[in-house]
Structure 1
Amino acid sequence: MDAPARIDVHQHIVPPVWADALAARGLDSGGWAIPAWSPRSAIAMMDQQGIATGILSVTAPGVHLGSDGAARDLARAVNEYGAEVVKDNPDRFGHFAGIPLPDIDAAVAEAVHALDTLHADGVALMSNTHGRYLGDPGFEPLWAELDRRAANVFVHPAQPPMALLPGTPAPLADYVFDTTRTALDLVLNGVMSRYPNVRVILSHGGGFLPYAAYRFSGLTSTVVDPDRTAEDILRDLRRFYFDTALSASPSALPALLAFAEPGHILYGSDWPFAPQAAGTYYNSYLGTYPDFAPGQAEAVNRDSAEFLFPRLAR
C-alpha cells in the first residue's frame, strides 16, 4: 500500500500498570511473554505496515486476574491509560475497553463508564474468564447493556481451562480453539439472536468457525437442538465479524471469504504479541491474494471498519 490506510482492529496495548500486575502474579499470556510497547513504537510499526489507525486492547489474560476488587481497579487504570493514548493521537489510535468479567456488576459499570465517559470505541472480552464462556447466562446483563448501546465487542481468545500442550504456548493452538468455542457458546445460548445490535468481532479469522460452520449447523439442528433449523444457526454464526490477524493465508482466506457476510472481514495485525515479521508474512498473502472481488481488498483493509468506527471515516 502506498500510504497508511488500514484500520487494524486487532492491535494490542501494554499499559505499565497491567504489565506490572501480571509480573507481580507471575503471569503471562498463555505461555507467551509480554513484549515492550510504546505509542512511538506502535506508530513506527503502523507506518511500515500501511496501518493508519490501530484499535488497541489488552490481550489475555485480560484485567481480571483473580480478585474482583483488584480487577475493578485494574480495569479502570487500563482503560484510562488507553483513553489518554487515544487523546494524544486520535487519528492513529482507538481503544477497546478492558472489562472485569466474571464480576458482572463491575463489568456492566465499567462498560458504561468506558463507552460514555472515556469514549472507548468498544469493549474487549476474553473468550473465557476463569472457565466461564461468553454465552454464560450470568453474563446476560452485560450483553443487554452492550446491545442497548449498539456497541462493538472485540473477542480475544484466552487460555482454555485445560493444561497446555507440552512446549506449545496457548497462542499457537489453544487460542484458535477457544475463539471457536466461545463463538459457538454465544450462538447455542441465543446471545447472538437476542442481541442483534451488538457487533461482535472474532479474532484470528474466527478460529476454525468458518471452516466448521456447516458441521455446527447440521449437527445442532439434527441432534443437539432439533427445534432450531440449520439456517437459524448459520444466520447467527454469520452475524460475527472476523479479523485477519495471523489468518490471511492461501488456505484460510478462501473459507473466510466464502462464509463471512459482505463487510464482515476486518484487518488485524496482533502486534506486538505477533512481531512485525509475522505481520509482514501475513500482509504479503493478503496483498497478493488473487481471488478478491472488486472492492473486497479495500473493504478488508479499511472500508468495513469505517462502518463500525464512523469517527475514522475519511
Structure 2
Amino acid sequence: MRIVAIEEHYATPELLEATGLDLSWLPDDPQSRLPDIAGGRLADMDAAGIELQVLSAVGPATQDLPDSVALSLARRLNSQLHDTIATPPDRFAGFATLPTGNIDAAVAELEHSVTELGLAGALINGTTQGRFLDHPDCAPVLETAARLDVPLYLHPGVPPQPVLGAYYAGLEPPLASRMPATAGYGWHYETSLHALRLIVSRALDRWPRLRIVLGHLGEGILFHLARIEDMLTPLAST
C-alpha cells in the first residue's frame, strides 16, 4: 500500500517574515522544522513509511497580505516549490499558494502553477477578507480549478475577529482560548462549514468537475452526515 500525505506544510524565511507567523506556542517547535524539506523531513517520511508528501505553504500564506507583497511572494513560493519537489524525484508534490485577496491574480497564479510548474492543485486557508469560496467574487477560482481538473484543498484558517470574540474569548489561560479556536476544535468546524457552503450554494452543480479535498477525517462532516442529509437535502433540492 502506498502512503501519500497531503497536508504537509513548509515555510521559507521570506514567508515567515512577511506574515509574522509565530508558532512558538505550539509543542515540538514546528516553526524551526517548517523550512526543512530534504533533510529531517525525508528521514521522518522514511520512518513513517510515507512515500510521497504533497507540500503546501503554511497558512495563512499570502492570503492576508496586501497585493504589493502577496502577488510576487506567491509567484516566488510556487516557483521555489517547483524546484524543490524536483529533487529527490518521486518523493514530493505541491499545492500552489494563491493570493486570494486579489481574485484575478489568484486565477493567474493557479493557471501558471498547474500548467507551467506542474503543481497538483492549490490549498486555500479558510476565509479571505471574511469571504468563503462560495462568495460570487471567488467564482473565477472555482471555474479555473474545474477547467484545469485539479483539486482545491480546503484548509482551516484563523477565525475572523468577530468569530474569535463571540465564540472563544474569555477563556483562561490564554491558550485555552487559542487552541479551541484553532487546532483543538474550531478549525475543523470552520472547514466543514466551508465545504457545506460550497454544496448548498450549488457550486458543485455549476462546475461538476470541481474537486474539493478535506482533511482531518472529513472535518467532522461524516459524523454529522445523517443530520445534514435530513435537514439540508430537502431544502437544497427545492
- The TM-score bracket by the shorter chain reads 0.7 to 0.9
Q: Cα offset for 1:48?
A: 0.6
1:84 matched to which residue of 2?
A: 83
Q: Distance in 2 between matches of 1:74 and 1:197?
A: 29
SS at match of 1:132: coil
CA contact 1:150–1:197 (8 Å) conserved in 2: yes
Aligned residues: 220
Q: Cα offset for 1:85?
A: 0.9
2:12 matched to which residue of 1?
A: 15
Q: Distance in 1 between matches of 2:212 and 2:233?
A: 23
Amino acid paired to 1:57: S
Of the three residues 186, 193, 218, the one matched with 2:198 is 186
Q: Deviations over 1:166-188 (max 9, x none)?
A: 42331121111111110111111
Of the three residues 164, 175, 180, the one matched with 2:187 is 175
TM-score by length of 1: 0.65
Q: Cα offset for 1:217?
A: 2.5
TM-score by length of 2: 0.85
Of the three residues 210, 213, 229, the one matched with 2:222 is 210
The share of aligned pairs that are identical, in percent, is 27
Aligned 1:242-281 pairs, distance under 5 A:
none
2:237 matched to which residue of 1?
A: 228
Q: Does 1:155 align with 2:174?
A: no
1:66 matched to which residue of 2?
A: 65
Amino acid paired to 1:175: W
2:127 matched to which residue of 1?
A: 128
Q: Deviations over 1:101-146 (max 9, x none)?
A: 1311011000011001111011111221232112111111111111
Q: Which runs of 4+ in 1 moved over 2 A?
A: 31-37
Amino acid paired to 2:150: A
Amino acid paired to 2:5: D
Q: Cα offset for 1:72?
A: 0.7
Gaps of 5+ in 2: none
CA contact 1:17–1:77 (8 Å) conserved in 2: no
Distance change (3 Å), C-alpha of 1:45 and 1:108: same
CA contact 1:28–1:61 (8 Å) conserved in 2: no
Amino acid paired to 2:14: V
CA contact 2:96–2:123 (8 Å) conserved in 1: yes
SS at match of 2:85: helix
SS at match of 1:130: coil
Q: Distance in 2 between matches of 1:206 and 1:34?
A: 26
CA contact 2:66–2:101 (8 Å) conserved in 1: no
Q: Distance in 1 between matches of 2:226 and 2:51?
A: 36
Gaps of 5+ in 1: 230-314
Q: Cα offset for 1:16?
A: 2.2
Q: Cα offset for 1:42?
A: 1.1
Amino acid paired to 2:135: D
Q: Distance in 2 between matches of 1:113 and 1:17?
A: 21
Q: Distance in 1 between matches of 2:206 and 2:4?
A: 29
Q: Cα offset for 1:198?
A: 2.5
CA contact 1:159–1:174 (8 Å) conserved in 2: no
